[in-house]
């Protein structure tokens, strides 16, 4: 039986991987090629029946889909009227990426961290203590999949110390079908939004760069935000941890970071009023008045839990 997307709204609890068969319908062609976590799918090799034709460059949108709040460009004003107190930002962001990664893993959606989030991973697998945003990428089959079956779905998590937990919204920009980089108003293809705070994760899709491929570069990839890669830069994805949960990172992570931020970004130990301590492996404020929240040496039972289920991940083997 096929469930329409609207019936998923307000869903209490993250959909498990087994729920995908319920959404798609058992035995239907669309599920062919869905891989398990132990055997990750190869880029562009899964769900070919979900691929859609893109709009031509003659149909460039004139309106921006995602709008940021008037008080801060990293908040969604639909869900907040002001920024969080400074000491609460990192815990909220940590829960944001943990719940996103768990949800994508549960539904079999290929994703990895990139840009500033990847750079913070390089240092200590933690979010920078001065940060207020997160960046992830997804493959082209994934954006089609999320748009068709998970757009506007709510995912509720129980958060330790948060009465009632928190609900996160997965929202896909309908203009993702406009592939051209001329669509400068809609370079973000999706967002994972904390409905309690307005904080969000920007999601961008990595697609084949058709123009470069026609010119003899068969591995060329691109994003609407004008980042360009080769397939070998990103795939095969590597396994690691970020904020104490499993994460995928691009294959040539060091080269990508050096190209985007410069080689010094991976060696400079003083930045944004912080110094990276070789002893504590954390970014310490110059004042040395460290707050407990920056250490965040969480145990497995301190992680968000899917409603009515076990913790997100068993930490026994970490």
How long is the chain? Answer: 318
Gap between the Cα atoms of 243 and 90, Å rounded: 11
| Rounded Cα–Cα distance for residues 173 and 193 (Å) | 13
Q: What is the mean pLDDT of residues 280-287?
A: 89
Q: Return the domain boundaries, the chain.
A: 5-18+66-293
Res 302: pLDDT: 61
**CA–CA dist 79, 198 (Å, integer):** 5
pLDDT at 286: 83
Q: Is the pLDDT of residue 3 over 70?
A: no
| Among 161, 35, 53, 1, residue whose Cα is nearest residue 110 | 35
- Supply the pLDDT for residue 231: 98
- Is 0.85 surpassed by the pTM of this model? no
In this prediction, residue 53 carries a pLDDT of 57
Tens-place pLDDT, residues 11-36: 333 333 323 322 333 333 332 232 33
Place of tokens 């669509």: 183
How many C-beta atoms lie closer than 10 Å to residue 284's C-beta? Answer: 17
CA 139, 143, 144, 149 torsion: positive or negative? Answer: positive
- Residue 269's pLDDT is 95
DSSP state, 25? -
* pLDDT one-digit tens code per residue, 168-217: 999 999 999 999 999 999 999 999 999 999 999 999 999 999 999 999 99
Task: Classify burial at 94, counting beta carbons within 10 Å of its beta carbon; exposed 0-12, middle 13-18, buried 19 or more.
Answer: buried
């Amino acid at each position: 039986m096929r469930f329409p997307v609207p019936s998923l709204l307000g869903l209490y609890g993250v959909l498990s991987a087994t729920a995908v068969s319920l959404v798609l319908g058992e035995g239907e062609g669309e599920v062919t090629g869905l891989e398990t976590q132990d055997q990750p799918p190869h880029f562009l090799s899964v769900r070919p029946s979900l691929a859609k034709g893109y709009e031509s460059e003659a149909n460039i949108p004139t309106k921006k889909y995602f709008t940021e709040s008037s008080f801060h460009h990293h908040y969604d004003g639909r869900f907040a009227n002001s920024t969080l107190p400074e000491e609460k930002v990192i815990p909220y962001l940590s829960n944001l990426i943990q719940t996103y990664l768990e949800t994508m893993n549960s539904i079999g959606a290929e994703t990895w961290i990139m840009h500033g989030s990847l750079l913070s991973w390089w240092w200590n697998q933690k979010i920078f203590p001065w940060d207020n945003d997160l960046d992830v990428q997804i493959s082209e089959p994934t954006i089609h999949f999320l748009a068709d079956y998970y757009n506007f779905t709510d995912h509720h998590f129980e958060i330790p110390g948060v009465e009632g937990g928190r609900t996160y919204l997965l929202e896909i920009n309908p203009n993702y079908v406009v592939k051209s980089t001329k669509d400068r108003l809609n370079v973000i293809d999706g967002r994972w939004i904390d409905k309690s705070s307005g904080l969000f994760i920007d999601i961008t899709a990595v697609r084949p760069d058709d123009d470069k491929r026609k010119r003899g570069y068969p591995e060329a990839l691109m994003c609407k935000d004008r980042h360009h890669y080769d397939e070998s830069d990103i795939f095969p994805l590597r396994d690691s941890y970020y904020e104490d949960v499993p994460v995928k990172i691009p294959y040539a992570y060091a080269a990508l970071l050096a190209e985007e931020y410069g080689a010094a970004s991976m060696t400079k130990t003083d930045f944004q009023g912080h110094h990276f301590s070789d002893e504590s492996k954390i970014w310490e404020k110059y004042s040395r008045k460290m707050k407990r929240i920056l250490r965040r040496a969480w145990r497995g039972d301190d992680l968000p839990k899917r409603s009515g289920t076990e913790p997100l991940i068993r930490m026994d083997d970490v």
